[in-house]
Structure 1
Amino acid sequence: MNCSSNFDWFIDKLHNTFDRLPDYRSFSPALTYEVKDAVLGAFSMFFSQSASFLSYQNSMKQAKGKSNAESLFKIEKIPSDNQIRNILDGVSPDNFYSVFSDCYSKIEESGHLGGYRFFQDCLLVAIDGTEYFRSSKIHCKNCTVTHHKNGKVSYSHKVLTPVITQPGSTTVIPLEPEFVIPQDGSKKQDCELNAAKRSIERNVHMADERSIILGDDLFSREPFCKQLLLKGFHFILVCKPDSHKTLYEYLDGFIKSNNVSSISSRRWNGKYHEKIILRYFNNLPVKDGENVLHVNWADITITNTKTQETCYYNSFITDFIIDDSNVEQIIQAGRARWKVENENNNVLKTKGYHLEHNYGHGKKFLSSTLLTLNLLAFLSHIFLEFMDKTYFSVRKALSVRKIFFHDFKALTKYLYFDNWKHLINFMAEQLELNITDIKMNSG
């Protein structure tokens, strides 16, 4: 397949990956669809944010003898929704993880990751878990089971969604997910922290590229911090008093003796003046005991100077030595961890990807496999924003996400396009865009 655009490169990468998918089904002459057709069919629906995309393309195929499912996504045979669910239930999501790393490498080779390097020229990798399914009835072997005090039982699916982020940017770069699922040989239920450990092991190559792991208070425990350091990662993690009593007991003594360094400033936020106080202290034990890990601590307090109300407070631990020259950047980096929620999880839940919608649960992998394909669709649009100038121009002109997808769905429902270049150029021409004048983002 010759790639005439970066979209085609992405689809080509999908095909190369999906061609290697194992077919777990018993051979039968009645088997009509390849596993790859089912995977591409699900991906195309998530990419277009249209549950009816395949049915529209089937109608176009019958009327015109060709369809956009074929020309854009190279789907040879279009399966129905039920056929997709039945086929994908036996396909593990880790079969698709190489596409995430290939996209990351492609973006890196293009030079766009340079704009994401922040403190000490490091990449900021934010990790966070989110729940995407819960039911009191529907469940599978990969569900987390919760027994409530009222005697009821609920079943849920959770996933860790790491992203590359940076302060000031609304665009994150998703890495492959890590699912919270029962692990072979373990009697205990899986958890976000264990999922984070597995994610770190899988992405250990990123330590060589200087990466800082960002996360909430759940991850600022000594074993995980030690694992990060052992693998070559840095960390800036939220650290709360309730979960780090020893650290804060030491810290309180230094605060009372005025040994904690402090920097204050004042700024106008457009509505009122704020007072910002940054404090830091180096070399504190992360917990009680001998030979424990020592970390460096910083916090930020933002106060409304008129009302004296605290507008924001947070505290962090890190392996970086903190001083007056870097405390602001370290705290900026630590606060960027919220972008995994705001620019990734919340977008996936509220901006058309419907992450929490039950597209199909299945008995084995269906729920997690569909979520992974949804994440890949989300990644594909971010990838195109970096790599396809025409796409970037169209998305900038149609700045409201809902409008872009509305137009995409309408165009592909009624008009046939020979390829991606034909489609995206058509949109640009109708918007009367001058592509040569557009400057693309670099992070």
Structure 2
Amino acid sequence: MACPVVSPQQALRMPEQIALLRALARDFPDNRTGKNCTYRLEDALLGAFSVFYTQCPSFLTHQIAMSETRGMSNAQTLFGMRDIPSDNHIRNLLDPVAPQHLYPAFERTFHALNDTGQLDTFRTVDGQLLIALDGTSYHQSHAIHCPQCTVTAHKKGGTSYTHTVVTPVVVSTAHNHVIPLEPEFVTPQDGHAKQDCESAAAHRWITAYAERYRNLQVTLLGDDLYSRQPMCEEMLSAGFDFILVCKPASHAALYAELERRENTGTVSTFSRTRREGKKTFTDTYRFAESLPLRAGKEALMVNWCELKSTSAEGKTVYHNAFATTHTLHPGNVAEIVKAGRARWRIENGHNNTLKTKGYHLSHNFGHGQKYLSATLATLNLLAFLLHTVQELTDFTYRTLRDRLPTRKAFFEHVRVLTQYHGFESFAALLEFMLSGLNRGRRDSG
């Protein structure tokens, strides 16, 4: 499928994003014949996307009512829909569509952010771009399941069914924004007897996207699950650096060698004192180079650093350690640790946001028998990505988000306004909201 050719600046605008989704839908698999072809696949895709983008489960219901009374709707003007399918029609039409059909939207957005210089603000650690990897579940049930589910038989009886996805995101130590990249779903793999898992999905993602990202000075971040030798070797062969959580319980050989070096005084240590408000903390850094990641002659040698933060009363408030490919010295250890800690943004700024801040990632919008659950989750991720892009690049959108107290308040305004008013474009919607807030400020005086 040939994506619409637009400039990087245009590619970041909502009308062009909607046009791209419409173009992608034209290549969706469609086995319908005859009278069964009432609704276009474009309308099914954009209908599902509109629900996630507006964070309004009843958005399409409101737009049907508006269309009946006014002859137009926001589904038409904002999302380019010709007809509005029912929820069941949308689920049936999207079930055969693999989520990979939507991945060009992530790719074009990433390239546009890079080409316009937006990604430069994310770079850290000698210009490195940090990509954090983590898995999160988005469906858990003892009853609802499909052939794509991970099946767990419990020792005390019963079976549970889950869907899990690895959600790579660009993170930064400089600000809280994260940029979602193409996800990799944990699903049964052809020709594999064992069930799929997060580690295998992460391996597939690294292999699939190494060529795209390897020349962009990328450092991968991950929790202790990722700091195992096969994964680290995969990252290195793909051309990536890494900063990965490294716990004693899973790296006995590394910590045994570290203890030997401590006894000989060859582990570097220094401390810094900092203040947060009225409180004082002491940050103690330790680091060493060329430690074995595992036992044996073929062990990969890595560098290691640790931060332990204590309060004035001697209480430990933070303690973690990392294995890394980066050369360590007193001048950069604090920055390396800070970059490693940025991994938490994938949990707090991405996965938790998707589950608790209006996106309802774990809600069962539709399970299907083939790809529906994964495809709807991908549309949810894409909606979050485009919200982030607008906050980074659209002055009006960013001003509104700054003016309104919470993300929830912003989308409450969007839901109410699109229920009662028709807007000719996203720009008109945002300008209407901003002018209303400005009038409210003047009236309050």
Q: TM-score range by the shorter chain?
A: over 0.9
Cα drift, residue 20 of structure 1:
2.1
Matched residues in 1 for 2:109 and 2:12: separation? 14
Residues 21 and 36 in structure 1, CA contact (< 8 A), matched pair in contact too: no
Partner of 1:440: none
What secondary structure, in the 3-state scheme, does the structure 2 residue paired with 1:30 have? Answer: helix
Task: State the Cα distance separating 1:22 from its structure 2 match.
Answer: 2.3
- The aligned residue for residue 216 of structure 1 is 223
Q: TM-score, normalised by structure 1?
A: 0.95
| CA positional deviation for 1:291 | 2.7
Aligned equivalent of 1:437 = none
Equivalent residue in structure 2 for 1:238, among 245, 252, 256: 245
Q: Which residue of 1 aligns with 2:138?
A: 132
Contact 2:11 2:108 in 1 (8 A): no
1:279 matched to 2:315? The reply is no
Aligned length: 431
> What is the identity, as a one-letter code, of the residue corresponding to 2:35?
P
Q: Give the counterpart letter for 1:249 in structure 2.
A: A
**What is the rounded CA distance, in whole Å, between the counterparts of 2:94 and 2:23 in structure 1?**
18
**Residue in structure 1 matched with residue 443 of structure 2 by the alignment:** none
1:152-301 maps to which residues of 2 (within 5 A)? Answer: 152-204=158-210, 205-301=212-308
Runs of 4+ with deviation above 6 angstroms: 1-5
Specify every segment of 5 or more residues in structure 1 that has no aligned partner in the other structure, as ranges: 434-443
Matched residue type, 1:236: I
**Alpha-carbon distance in 1 for matches of 2:112, 2:189:** 32
Counterpart code for 2:329: D
1:73 Cα deviation from its structure 2 partner: 0.4
Distance 2:174 2:121 in 1: 11
Cα deviations by residue, 1:107-144 (Å, 9 ceiling, x for unpaired)? 11111111000001010000100111111111111111
* 1:21 is the counterpart of 2:28: yes
In structure 1, the partner of 2:105 is 99
For residue 398 of structure 1, report the CA deviation from its aligned partner. Answer: 1.6
Q: Which residue of 2 aligns with 1:436?
A: none
Alignment of 1:20-59 (within 5 A): 20-23=27-30, 25-59=31-65
Give TM-score scaled by structure 2 length: 0.94
Over the residues paired in the alignment, what is the CA RMSD in angstroms? 1.5
Letter in 2 for 1:121: G
Tell me what 2:115 maps to: 109
Is contact 2:122–2:174 with CA below 8 Å preserved after alignment?
no
| Residues 1:388 and 2:400 aligned together | no
Aligned equivalents of 1:130 and 1:230: distance in 2? 26
| Distance in 2 separating the partners of 1:319 and 1:103 | 29
Instruction: Please give the alpha-carbon distance, in whole angstroms, between the structure 2 residues aligned to 1:13 and 1:90.
Output: 20
**Equivalent residue number for residue 320 of structure 1:** 326
1:122 aligned to 124, 128, 150, which one? Answer: 128
1:141 aligns with 2:140: no
Deviations, residues 188-240 of structure 1 (Å, cap 9, x unaligned): 01111111111112221111101000000000011111111111100000000
* 2:442 matched residue in structure 1: none
Kindly indicate whether the alpha-carbon contact (under 8 Å) linking 1:41 and 1:84 is maintained by their aligned counterparts in 2: yes
Q: Secondary structure at the match of 2:155?
A: coil
Gaps of 5+ in 2: 440-445
2:100 partner amino acid? D
Cα drift, residue 271 of structure 1? 4.2
Identity fraction in percent: 45
Distance 2:33 2:234 in 1: 45
Partner of 1:364: 370
1:273-295 deviation line (CA, Å, top 9, x unaligned): 11110000000111111132100
CA drift at 1:28:
2.3
Q: 1:5 offset after TM fit, Å?
A: 8.2
Once the two structures are overlaid, the 10-residue window that deviates more, 386-395 or 115-124, is 386-395
Task: Say which SS state the counterpart of residue 97 (structure 2) adopts.
Answer: coil
Structure 1 counterpart of 2:110, one-letter code:
Y
Aligned pair partner of 1:75 in 77, 81, 91: 81
In structure 2, give the amino acid aligned to 1:256.
Answer: N
Q: Which amino acid in structure 2 is aligned with residue 260 of structure 1?
A: V
